[in-house]
């Protein structure tokens, strides 16, 4: 059987770190208020001249170096992002050019915070079918540019960053099982409706979120999809060494882990320093867990993510 195996990981955070204290100088909030409700202490913000493709390239180069793979060996690039450099071309094409390569397939996936799940599963299918041998899968976002910095309900939650993995064809695990889901009936509780039309921005360009509704749906959906993936793979929570969840809110992560019967000592948490980096959050957390030595070769990992759409999913893999 042909598998897609992680050969290397990389990540990148913009230089500017904004703490909760920094935000409290902009809106009526405090470090205690934010941390108690979300677990977030700080986030990183892209500089004025930085684009999503720039963040993606930095993470990609780190992942390529970690995998000991040359950029020209990549035959598929998928970028998961809800904040592309421009309407078109795809940010993946811009990343491809900045990496100095050409000719391989390159496209974006837009499933917001679940985007990395969707991109990873797509790359896995390419590799399993023989259409690709080495794939670069990137989650990259500059969500700070979608925020209304007068709205303390949303501006405190998000940050910018990028994470990447290099996948390679292998005859041993690999990605073991995955499940993707979506339900557009819930699109009204988390969205950014603005779009370019006739030379103007039509509708609000700012992120909108019904926090309570998102929390309830996220815990239920992530708990079920995680349990389903384990059941369908013939495994249990006891077989999981590490959970790498989308880093939206510590309460969501804790509740989901409890429903799955997995202790928080098996969960990689980066939300405190990164905030919610949307499609970048899972590969960022994965890279942190690998680089600090907690995640080791042979470990079984459960990756989970959910975002606007709603779109969500889980991937079970052996690192």
| Residues contacting 227, CB < 8 A, separation 6+ | 259, 260
Please give the structure tokens belonging to residue 6: 């992680």
Please give the Cα distance from 206 to 75 (Å, whole number).
Answer: 36
Helix/strand/coil for 43: strand
Please give the structure tokens belonging to residue 28: 């009526």
End-to-end CA distance of the chain: 17
Please give the Cα distance from 300 to 173 (Å, whole number).
Answer: 10
* Catalytic member of 113, 155, 249, 274: 113
Please give the Cα distance from 304 to 300 (Å, whole number).
Answer: 13
Please give the Cα distance from 316 to 319 (Å, whole number).
Answer: 10
Helix/strand/coil for 179: strand
Please give the Cα distance from 244 to 246 (Å, whole number).
Answer: 7
Q: What is the DSSP letter of 18?
A: E
Residues in the chain, total: 319
Q: Is residue 113 flagged as an active site residue? A: yes
Q: Is residue 246 flagged as an active site residue? A: yes
Report the relative pairing of strands 195-197 and 242-245 from DSSP bridges.
unpaired
C-alpha of 160 from chain center: 11
* Catalytic member of 44, 124, 246, 274: 246
- Catalytically annotated residues: 113, 246, 276
């Amino acid at each position: 059987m042909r598998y897609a195996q992680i050969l290397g990981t990389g990540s990148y955070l913009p230089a500017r770190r904004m703490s909760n204290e920094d935000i409290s100088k902009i809106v009526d909030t405090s470090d205690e208020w934010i941390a108690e409700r979300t677990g977030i202490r700080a986030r990183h913000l892209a500089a004025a001249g930085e684009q999503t493709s720039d963040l993606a390239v930095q993470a990609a180069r780190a992942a390529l170096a970690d995998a000991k793979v040359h950029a020209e060996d990549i035959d598929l690039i998928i970028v998961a992002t809800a904040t592309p450099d421009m309407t078109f071309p795809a940010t993946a094409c811009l990343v491809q050019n900045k990496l100095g390569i050409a000719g391989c397939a390159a496209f974006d996936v837009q499933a917001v915070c679940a985007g990395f799940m969707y991109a990873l599963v797509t790359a896995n299918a390419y590799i399993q079918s023989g259409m690709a041998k080495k794939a670069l899968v990137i989650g990259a976002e500059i969500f700070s540019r979608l925020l209304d910095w007068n709205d303390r309900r949303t501006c405190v939650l998000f940050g910018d960053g990028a994470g990447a993995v290099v996948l390679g064809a292998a005859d041993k695990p690999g990605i073991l099982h995955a499940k993707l889901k979506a339900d557009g009936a819930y699109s009204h509780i988390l969205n950014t409706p603005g779009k370019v039309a006739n030379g103007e921005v039509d509708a609000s360009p700012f992120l909108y979120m019904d926090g309570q509704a998102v929390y309830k749906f996220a815990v239920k959906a992530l708990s079920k999809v995680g349990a389903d993936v384990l059941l369908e793979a013939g495994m249990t929570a006891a077989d999981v060494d590490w959970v790498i969840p989308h880093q939206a809110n510590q309460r969501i992560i804790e509740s989901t882990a409890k429903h799955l019967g997995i202790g928080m000592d098996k969960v990689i948490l980066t939300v405190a320093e990164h905030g919610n980096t949307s499609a970048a959050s899972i590969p960022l957390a994965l890279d942190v867990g690998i680089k600090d030595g907690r995640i080791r070769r042979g470990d079984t990992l459960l990756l989970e993510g959910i975002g606007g759409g709603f779109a969500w999913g889980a991937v079970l893999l052996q690192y």
